[in-house]
Amino acid sequence: MFSFSLLALLSAAAVLAAPSQLANVTDEAHLIRRQTVASGTGTIDGYYYSLYEEVDSGVTMNVGSGEYSVTWTAASVDVVAGIGWATGSAQAISYSGTFSPNGNAYLSVYGWTTNPLVEYYICDSYGDYNPSTGLTQMGTVTSDGATYDIYKTVRENAPSIEGTATFNQYWSVRSSKRVGGTITTSNHFNAWKSLGMTMGAFNEQILATEGYESSGSASITVSAGSTAPSSSPSNPPTNPGSGTVAHYGQCGGIGWTGGTVCAAPYTCQATNAYYSQCL
């Protein structure tokens, strides 16, 4: 896999847009006012963005309120660009736009957890290389209208948000590619956990475009969604009516007959009227 740290290895100053710059403008003017950003991380209109380039060449990223566009060439070697949240969560993420790679590239929800350190991808589309090639398949999960194949690998002495480290990397790869829709991340996190793929505390979480030794462009709009989870993981966790519910497990919602008490230190948090989860 060709994934690199989006936090610890980035040092360039962020280019920020003042809220007054983006207020009361037409859609056309808004596009003009999008900010071109340098390698690094920052926030624009409350949205976290991250841009990593292995080689600082051949990449242009523009960021607006809840949207970004990026073009890249093979001169950058590896580029990862996206917007989202500095601290992610088990949330539904909706997005739309275009993704036009020439070669090896991925369009994914991308993020990290700590304690344990885990790098993860929920991949909705890719270029001419399936990112699961050579990985260990763990199972499948049905979510948001499609089946995703679940994979796991170990990255040894690789760049991470904690510096060079050895850590697990998890993948859910959609069997039928798409660009746009809702990704209910909790479905994947629950399926991974049921397969023994442990996660830790959430760190960054972005809707990312990654290109490796390739070229292309993407223009993506991102928002937090609010759909109820709908998943069928292989080896799903069980939640009896008595006893405690594990981290990421369902603990409530209309029609729920399973456990309602979360294992310490987690608490039952409502996503919507139909689904509550131990977080």
Active site residues: 119, 210
**Cβ(207)–Cβ(93) under 8 Å?**
yes
Q: Give the integer Cα–Cα distance in Å for 171 and 122.
A: 6
Strands (E), the chain: 35-37, 40-44, 47-53, 59-64, 67-72, 78-85, 92-114, 118-126, 136-143, 146-158, 165-174, 181-184, 201-224, 244-245, 250-252, 261-262, 268-272, 275-278
What are the DSSP calls for 12-41, one per residue?
SPPP---HHHHSS--HHHHHHHPEEE-SEE
Report cis status (omega within 30 of 0) of the bond before 265.
yes
Query: Pick from 237, 233, 220: which is nearest to 109 by CA?
Result: 220
Pairing relationship of beta strands 261-262 and 244-245 according to DSSP bridges: parallel
Looking at the DSSP bridge assignments, the partners of residue 165 are 158
